[in-house]
Amino acid sequence: DAGVTQSPTHLIKTRGQQVTLRCSPISGHKSVSWYQQVLGQGPQFIFQYYEKEERGRGNFPDRFSARQFPNYSSELNVNALLLGDSALYLCASSQEPGTSGGEETQYFGPGTRLLVL
């Protein structure tokens, strides 16, 4: 079975531009989460979507937005890019959120490396 896929793998943008990152979850997984990982740090939670509804949002500005499609794939959009947005953006999928049975275990994709110049 295919794992979580993300596109593109690398991206270079300039300040003020907008970017869209894409994620396809593992087949059968209905929840997608997005994380930002700055060099040398652990991943920081941005969004979680389940059944196309936003379930949670981390401490990120409104320049960050996301959505989930009927096929459970997801997009992360970042507007008005800043130099500080340069990071590895990770997408994770799980069967469903919760605290039972292991369905909440998140499996991560390879990430998109975004460089803002």
Least distance to other proteins from the beta carbon of 56, Å? 3
Binding-site residue total for other proteins (CB under 8 A)?
28
List the one residue out of 13, 15, 22 whose CA is nearest residue 111. Answer: 22
Kindly state whether residue 30 participates in binding other proteins, applying the rule CB under 8 A. no
Closest to other proteins by CB, 16 or 56 = 56
SS3 104: coil
Token pair for 7: 């596109």
Distances (CA, A) of 36 to 13, 43, 71, 91, 108: 16, 5, 23, 9, 12
| Range 75-94, binding other proteins (CB under 8 A) | 88, 90, 92
Residue 96 as a binder of other proteins (CB under 8 A): the answer is no
Does 111 interact with other proteins (rule: CB under 8 A)? yes
